Amino acid sequence: MAQHGPESDAVPGDVSSGLRDFVQPFQTETSRVSGRLVRLAATVDAVLKRHAYPDPVSETLGQAMALAALLGTALKFEGRLILQTKSDGPLGFLVVDFSTPGFVRGYASYDKDRYAALEAAGTLTQGDLMGRGHLAMTIDPGGDMQRYQGIVALDHATLTDAALAYFRQSEQLPTFLRLAVAREAGPDGAWSWRAGGLLLQHVSPVGGRTAEEQAAAEERGLLHGEEDDDWQRVAMLSATVEDHELVDPTLAPERLLYRLFHEEGVRVAPLQPIAEYCTCSRDRVHDFLKRFGPEQLADMKEADGTIAVTCEFCSTRYPFRDEDLL
């Protein structure tokens, strides 16, 4: 299990907090666009190496982890955000669980034979990997508070395209999103996974558009604020970011944001650390197994007489013998 300053103007420099896994909130000064930059190193590396998925599956799960961190750190209350896909492609299921203030875990389930066939056919795009199904984002405030869930269809779309469809449908805010995952070799030759992402959303000022202007924009299929010059300018600047910049551990977040938005002016808030976690424990698994009767438990036994349960998230194996369940 992973381990359970004042705002400042971003300037061109190599100042680093030393954090390798974080979300950097920021706002552009001229255009008043809010954004977050995520960078994951040890967190995503631990998850992806542990499961040893094929690279395209790992890349998709790494993107999902970066996206969940971007969204989860924006929650204004203690709770969880669960990002989940379920589809008919070889990558039939993935889930990322984010718990405030900055803990994340995830895993994927894929069909090895169907994946191999898709790879052999040479059509291994992320859209074909997931196929048709849905992307669900669930916000769970905990306690007696009601969950909120938004769902969008997957139809051979990338995770980024599906997320943008979710933002358009559920939040109805102009949104820019870029996600990147890479596997890089270090100075010692050992390789490691890294993930990064950039998310910006434009909230138009109240009263910034008349009812007639809003209706005309909706007829053209545009969101409120999507035609604003400020938003279009910032979106164009955001589109210049390169994947390698999003995952580069030597490029300080302040420097990257200055590189992108120095003409706008950009103000950053304190970094929000991200770490891996898991909620599994031997006691929880024991309580789960106690719900089954003797015949059901007998069917679960392995050749050596033990009943073993492995956590899907962290791969920890919990073995039990008959005397453990008395």
Q: Per the structure block, which two tokens stand in for 227?
A: 């035609």
C-alpha span between 185 and 128 (Å, rounded): 28
Total-model pTM? 0.86
pLDDT at 64: 98
pLDDT of residue 227: 77
Over residues 43-85, the pLDDT tens digits come to: 999 999 999 999 999 999 999 999 999 999 999 888 999 999 9
Angstrom distance (rounded) from CA 50 to CA 105: 12
Find where tokens 């969940």 sit.
68
- The alpha carbon of residue 192 and the mean position of all alpha carbons in its chain are separated, in whole angstroms, by 18
Q: Which residues of the chain have pLDDT under 70?
A: 1-18, 204-225
H helices present in 73-133, as ranges: 112-121, 126-130
**Contact indicator for 111, 127 with CB cutoff of 8 Å:** no
Asked if the bond preceding 273 is cis, omega within 30° of 0, the reply is no
Phi and psi based region of residue 225 (left: phi greater than 0; alpha: psi -120 to 50; beta: remaining):
left
Instruction: Provide the token pair at 275.
Output: 């770490």
Q: What pLDDT does residue 222 have?
A: 56
